[in-house]
Structure 1
Amino acid sequence: MSNNNVLFERLYAEFYPMVHHVCVGFMKGNRELAEDLAQETFINTWRSLDNFKGTSSYKTWIYRITMNTCLKYIRDSKTKNQVPLDQNSKLLSQDSSHQDHGDAHQELYQAIGQLNEIDRLIIMMVLDELEYKEIADVVGISESNLRVKIHRIKKSLKEKLKNE
């Protein structure tokens, strides 16, 4: 087995849960779509493995790949006249077999799904308990700007959850 294969298997084992969680947040709780995007993220990771320069941690690098994969899917789905993610999510929430995390989690994912794409990414990383420095590196903003954004995102989520 080559070094890339060993490294990839280690990255997959270590970071798949994180990647899947972020994809679920981006896809507003649609677990099947999140699974597809998590797999796509690791296909992209495999393709980019030789390009990893080591300027960030593997975790930060894989978060960037996850973010780019999800954002590309969202942009592509808007141009292909597919069923909007909001409708996918509503259809999914009507299927009781997919409500294994309960209504509270579904409501949270619905509220997160109403955020803009970057805010969704930030709050998913906060929920994953990433260090603020790592989040700031992934998003490309300063830590102080990140703290302000997180405060605003939390305030917005509270409002959205109150209104549901």
Structure 2
Amino acid sequence: MNSTDKKYKELYKAHYPKVMRLCLGYVAGDEAIAKDLAQDIFIKIWENLDNFRNDSSISTWIYRISVNTCLSRLRTGKKRSRTIAIADVPEILEEHSDADREKQLVQLYKCIQKLSETNRAIILLVLEGLPQSEISEIIGLKHDAVRTRIHRIKSQLTKCVSHE
């Protein structure tokens, strides 16, 4: 096994769960589509791993590929009039016994789907626990702009969830 293969395996193992959660957020919990997206993302990572210049952290680079791939898929999906079912929001909901919590999570996913592409990317990265500085690097906005957007997005989602 050469060093590129080894590095790829380590990246895959370390980042697959995060990439998968991000993809699930973009497709309202549709696991089959999320798995396809994650596979596409890791193919792109493999194809471009030797070109990674260390201008940013490897995780920032992976998130950038992930966001771009998810947005690209959503754009082409919309052009084909493809709708994504929200009925079966993530299987993790089945693990929770609290019906109210389940209902809120379903509403949250529905509300996230209503956000603009950039705002959706920002909030999904926030939910993933990334620092605002890294989010600003991934999205390509200034840190202050990201901080302001996060505040507005949270407010918008709070209103949306309570009115759904």
Q: What TM-score, normalized by structure 1, do the two folds share?
A: 0.89
With 103-112 and 30-39 compared, the bigger mean Cα shift is at 103-112
Q: Which residue of 2 aligns with 1:4?
A: 4
Matched residues, number? 158
Shift of 1:78: 1.6
Rounded Cα–Cα distance in structure 1 between residues aligned with 2:122 and 2:81: 27
Partner of 2:86: 89
Partners of 1:9 and 1:104 in 2: how far apart?
A: 36
Query: Which residue identity lines up with residue 153 of structure 2 in the other structure?
Result: I
Alignment match, 1:64: 64
Residue identity matched to 1:104: Q
2:49 equivalent to 1:49: yes
TM superposition score normalised by structure 2: 0.89
- Please give the alpha-carbon distance, in whole angstroms, between the structure 1 residues aligned to 2:143 and 2:131: 10
For residues 110-133 of structure 1, the C-alpha deviation after alignment (integer angstroms, 9 at most, x for no partner) is: 211111111111111111111111
Question: Is contact 1:29–1:110 with CA below 8 Å preserved after alignment?
Answer: no
CA contact (8 A) 2:104 2:161 kept: no
CA distance in 1 between counterparts of 2:160 and 2:30 reads: 19
C-alpha deviation, 1:36, in angstroms:
1.3
Question: For residues 97 and 139 of structure 1, what CA distance do their matches in structure 2 show?
Answer: 28
Q: Gapped runs of 5+ residues in structure 1?
A: none
SS where residue 18 of structure 2 aligns? helix
Query: How many percent of aligned residue pairs carry the same amino acid?
Result: 36
CA contact (8 A) 1:26 1:117 kept: no
Question: Which residue matches 1:30?
Answer: 30
Give the equivalent residue in structure 2 for 1:77: 77
Q: Which residue of 2 aligns with 1:141?
A: 141
Deviations 1:35-55 (A, max 9, x none): 111111111111111111100
Whether 1:118 aligns to 2:118 is yes
The SS at the match of 1:100 is helix
Cα distance in 2 between the residues matched to 1:98 and 1:143: 32
The Cα offsets for residues 85-117 of structure 1, whole Å up to 9 and x where unpaired, read as: 2xx223x35xx9784253332222121111111
Say what the alpha-carbon RMSD is for the aligned residues. 1.7
Q: Does 1:100 align with 2:94?
A: yes
